[in-house]
Structure 1
Amino acid sequence: NMAELLKIKSEVEEFKKEYFYRNSQAEENRQREYQAANRIQSWFRASKVRAYLSHLHKKAIIIQRIWRGFTARARFRQMVKAAYFIMKMNFYEEMAVRIQKRWRGFFVRKYIHNYYARKSYLEGLSRKNELVRMELAELEELQKRERDCVEMVKEQTAKVYQAHRLHHLLSTKQCPGVFNSPFRPAPHEMELLLRQVKYQAPARRKRVIILQSVILIIKDPQHPLLVPLDMALDESRDPLKLLLKKNDIIKTWQTALLGATAQSRLVSVFQ
């Protein structure tokens, strides 16, 4: 027994040495093992979290897919309903336009633009146009006659003025004048006019007053001096008749011009 006790005591010393050695080895490897354990735990936890997040992501995708499909189908149904409603409204509007067009055409043709009323209106309008055209033609003819009368008055006034200026060319018993050729069957118009007027010195103011008086006479259509001119326009173109008629006209205009000359003298006296 003592031997065993001694053996045990010797083994205790060895056990202590072994224990101390192993504790020192464990102390040396503790930090490295701790870091390795932390790394293993972090990897495991990360794997676990990633797996959980992947699971959540898949479930979220499924939920979103179902919800988006539901909302898209609902929106598509609304779009189909709206398109169908618009199509029906377009059809109804087109049919309403056709009905209104037919009805308005019938109403307008029957009550507003009646064919027979329009025909009678156009016939009356054509008759009125013909009357207006006739009146315009008469007015044009009247204006033309007035212009011819004014031109004739101007021509006669110029001839009278020229006769006053050329009074020295009047024929005498001894010597025939320029306008009284012995080869003519009848005296010239200027010769007759020279016989009826008297010589007057040229005066510009008197001539202007005479022309103004003649124009005042022309403006009055009822003046008796215009009647011979109007009659002369309607006469035939026979030279002898025209010559006789012009002699009467010359006498009438001589009276008018003498009155205008007297008026001009009175005006010059009062001025």
Structure 2
Amino acid sequence: MAEQLKIKSEAEEFQKEYFLRNSQAEENRQRENQAAIRIQSWFRACKVRAYLSHLHKKAIIIQKIWRGFTARARFRQMVKAAYFIMKMNFYEEMAVRIQRRWRGFFLRKYIHNFYARKSYLEELSRKNELVRRELDELEELQRRERNCLEMIKEQTAKVYQAHRLHHLLSTKQCPGVFNSPFRPAPHETELLLRQVKYHAPTRLAPRGKACLLGMPDSAASFPSSLGSPWIKTTGTFCFSKPILPPIVSKKQQGLFREPGEVWEQRVHCPDLTLHLQTSYTHLEEAQNQLRQHKGTGSMFHHPSHSSNSFTQPA
């Protein structure tokens, strides 16, 4: 009995130890499995990295060899092109030298003769002198023509001014502005005023139709009636066309009048030679009469000339 109890107790202890050993082995088995997995993954990673490094090195070697080959081929092409360009430049330079030598020899031998060229240059210089002399003569002729035209313009301007200033002519009763008693002889303008006859403009001359000095067309008709010697020459330089008669139209009434009529009223003057031979009190009488009729707008007659009528502007 004692032995059976001893054996039974030993069996229970063995069973407990067996269960304990099995639980410990199970725990160690999971830890060892995880450790083995980690070791395998590390080893495989090292293997793959080593393989990739090997492939990278081989790829670098292949690229290096290929790039060296292509660079050497490109360099050989560049050397060939540079050599070809250098050779062509050398050939062109040699060809230019040969052409220069040949052309110089040909021109000196067959084309350019020194004595013929010398005679040609001498003849050319003589011809230049002749042309210059002719040009100087032409310039002198043109200058004389310009001076003549300027003189004619000045004379025409003086005659035109004399037509405009004819009312300043001296008379028996009153000496003119240009006939001062302090002068030993009359002024040049006074002499010109004596030769010119007064013409009152009838209409306003159209702009743009003028002679050399830009005067109205009415001045172009003055030289035909003058007696001075230079007035006849000015008619050839005035290219004024004959003015056509005005178109007859219905006369405007009221304040609207034609420009020619207004111009005639503003510049029309009676005959100065007759007007200045009246009495000395004629001016005061005319001023008194003008004061009486001022503001009425009616027609008034000049005391000495009933035919010259003026209309007071509105």
Output the TM-score relative to the length of structure 1: 0.46
Q: Which is higher, the Rg of structure 1 or of structure 2?
A: 1
Structure 1 or 2: more helix by fraction: 1
TM norm structure 2: 0.41
